[in-house]
Amino acid sequence: MHYCIGDVHGCYDEMIALLGQIEQKDRNAHFLFVGDFVDRGPKVWDTIEWAMTNITRDGKYQSVQGNHEQMVLQWYVGYCEWRAKKIRLSPPPEPNYDFMEQAEAKDMLDPNALKPIMDFFMGLPFHKVVSVPGRNGKPVTYDIVHAWYDFDEPEDSAQQYLDNLWRREISGNFESDHIVIHGHTPTLSAFYLGQEHSSPGMIIYRKNAVNIDGGCVFHGQVGVLPGFLCGICLETLEEFYSPSFKDRLTLKQRMDYLRKYRCKPNPFREEMLERLPKQKESG
């Protein structure tokens, strides 16, 4: 089966635990990440090394490019130009976040040392399509992107690439019956807080759209709301979280959260489930 994983942002331990949790249940699992491996988190370099070792274009582990990989690529161009200057009167350009700091800690600020990482980032596609068997013989098609997919834009247009990396769309996909799987906007963010059918820090469903960026790297920064690294099975919509719910919140906090955010079925998820084969009852 196919599993999509949300924005990692250097949360390496949570990523390894989540992959293990899924693989323990499904040894033949195939994974698709929505990008943003770098910046903010505690183990960015471990995450990069794992990604470069394991992620391929068509293998067991795949990924699309995130806007944070794109920002690092843009920084690298300016950094190489700065390094090429014989007289450097100005300080080096700095990336928007902490990639340069992470590279310096690894003694890898030489452009040649960084080039394999940049080649890996550059090689990540902007968009992946996965079709799975649906009910009554009609397949269900998923568009996996980092931020958003605009069905009115040509696949290879400059605007489509910008949408894939940067667009924040929280209302859903009303243009196509494809389901967009994306991250980019943490479900902990103000975009979602207070909206109906929201689950801050967890997976959120909208019309033909699923946001799997639970904001793991932001856990503890938004009141008592949890932030998880999220995974979802495309064939069943089964959800996976790292770390566990009880590791993030006390018993009272969990009860309060479930009562406020998870006490009713999400109608958008229910509609998606109606398009997928019925699952056998366990036991």
Predicted pLDDT of residue 122: 97
CA–CA–CA angle 51, 233, 40 (5° rounding): 40
Residue 80 banded pLDDT, cuts 50, 70, 90: very high
174-190 core/surface letters (b: 16 or more CB in 10 A; e: else): eeeebbbbbbbbbbbbe
Report whether pLDDT(209) > 80: yes
End-to-end C-alpha distance for the chain, whole angstroms: 21
- What pTM, to 2 d.p., does this model score? 0.94
State the pLDDT confidence band at 87, using cuts at 50, 70 and 90. Answer: confident
Is 78 part of any domain? no
pLDDT at 281 > cutoff 60: no
Whether 188 is in a domain gets the answer yes
In a domain, 145, yes or no: yes
In a domain, 108, yes or no: no
Rg, C-alpha atoms of the chain: 19
Q: Which tokens in the block code for residue 283?
A: 């036991």
pLDDT at 193: 84
Domain holding 158, by residue range, is: 2-66+124-275
- What 3-state DSSP class applies to 29? coil
Give whole-number Cα distances, 89 to 23, 64, 85, in Å. Answer: 52, 38, 9
Could you report the per-residue pLDDT of 30-47, keeping only the tens digit for each? 999 999 999 999 999 999
Give how far Cα 270 sits from Cα of 17, 130, 208, 276, 281, Å: 28, 20, 11, 10, 17
Angle at 160 between CA 210 and CA 168, to 5 degrees: 45
Q: Is residue 177 one of the residues assigned to a domain?
A: yes
Say what the pLDDT of residue 101 is: 93
Concatenated DSSP letters of 147-186: S---TTS-TT-HHHHHHHHH----SB--S-SSEEEE-SS-
Do 244 and 104 touch, CB atoms closer than 8 A? no
140 forms beta bridges with 132
Task: Output the average pLDDT for the chain.
Answer: 94
Residue 225 lies in a domain: yes
- 239/236 Cα distance (integer angstroms): 9
**Position 93 confidence tier, pLDDT thresholds 50, 70, 90:** very high
Q: Residue-wise over 133-157: b if at least 16 C-beta within 10 A, else e? A: eeeeeeebebbbbbbbbbeeeeeee
Overall number of domains in the chain: 1
Cα–Cα distance for residue pair 95/205, rounded to 1 Å: 32
Residue 264 pLDDT class (50, 70, 90 cuts): confident
CA 78/CA 88 separation, integer angstroms:
13
Vertex 212: Cα angle to 130 and 73 (nearest 5): 80
Query: 80: burial class by Cβ within 10 Å (0-12, 13-18, 19+)?
Result: middle
Give the CATH number, domain containing residue 165. Answer: 3.60.21.10
Do residues 130 and 232 touch, judged by C-beta distance below 8 A? no
**pLDDT given for residue 263 in this prediction:** 86
Structure-block tokens of residue 249: 């919140």
* Residue pLDDT, tens place only, 137-150: 899 999 999 999 99
